Every structure is written in C-alpha cells, then in structure tokens.
Amino acid sequence: MENIVVYGGRGSGKSTYARELVNPLETVVLGVGRGKVGDMLALQMGGIERHIADDKERGIESRRADLKTAKGYIERLEKPNLVIDEWAGFFFSSWWKPESEIKERIEEMYQTMEDNSHLEKAILIITDAIDYLPFRLYKKMGLWNKEAFRRADQVIKVEFGIPVQIKPSPYI
C-alpha cells in the first residue's frame, strides 16, 4: 500500500490537492472532525461538512468518522483509495489517554489499513497549524503526526495551492 501525507496550513489547498491524486469513483474519504466542542474551541465551524458536500459534487464517497468508527470503515473498504481528512482529528478522540494507549491506537489504524487487501493508496491530510494547547496535550497531538510522517512513502507540503515534495527529498 502506498502511504502519502499531504500537509499544510488552514486553507492552503491540501484537501483539494489530495483529492486530485485519486480517481473519485475509486475513493472513500473519511472526514475526521474535532466534534462540535473541538470545532467551537478552534473557532472553526463546519470544515468537515463543507468537504463532504464538495466530495458529493465530485462523486466521491465521503463520510464523517472518529476514532471509534474509522477502523470499521477501513476494514470494510472495498475501494483502492482512502483519504483521511484530517488525520490529527483522531487526537480529539484520544487526548485524555496515556501516550502508550495513543501509540496503540495509531498502530491499530495502520495495521487495519495494511490488512485491507483492497487498499492500494492511503492519503493522510494533516494541518500543520495546531491550535494553542497546553504543552502536554500538544505533545500527544504530535504523536499522531510524527508517526504519519515517519511511515509515509511520500510527504507533500501544500501552500497557496502549490504542492512541494518533501519526502523523498527531490534534492538527494
């Protein structure tokens, strides 16, 4: 399975770019939100719902997911492409857990993707701007992102709609 991370700031064009990497009819998008409380704290209302509506117009199967439901969706996935928009959203389902349990959940998500014989490409969308959090929580959110970057075959940063390949480095 090819594993791609597309990251950038809010409104950078990362979600649009990630969807350009796949055939809409062969793709499922899991929109991982912060939940209503998380959206209110971030003063960001309706981001996932907006993407789901855009996906519907493009003919992409899209659904809202959280840490509890994502694993089941991935296990039942019969299409070759999966987009998880926004990977770090899983943090909001796990912030109160110890780091060891968060690492177990991350491993479980990756194992579920690897075990699905239909899945050929997984694209994880990550926002690089993290809302203010106490340092201990910030580090827990970082666990989700560090593992995604470490495991990625490709890492692409998108700014103002322009993709720049980071990994593998085009300079080496």
- For the chain, the first-to-last Cα distance in angstroms comes to 24
Domains of the chain listed by start with CATH number? 2-167 (3.40.50.300)
- Supply the pTM of this predicted model: 0.85
pLDDT in tens, the chain (172 residues): 999 999 998 889 998 999 999 998 999 888 875 555 555 544 454 566 777 788 888 888 888 887 778 889 999 999 999 888 877 677 777 777 888 888 888 899 899 999 999 999 999 998 886 666 677 777 777 888 888 999 999 999 999 999 999 999 877 6
Strands (E), the chain: 2-8, 27-32, 61-65, 81-85, 121-127, 154-159, 162-167
| Cα angle: 163, vertex 31, 59; to 5 degrees | 80
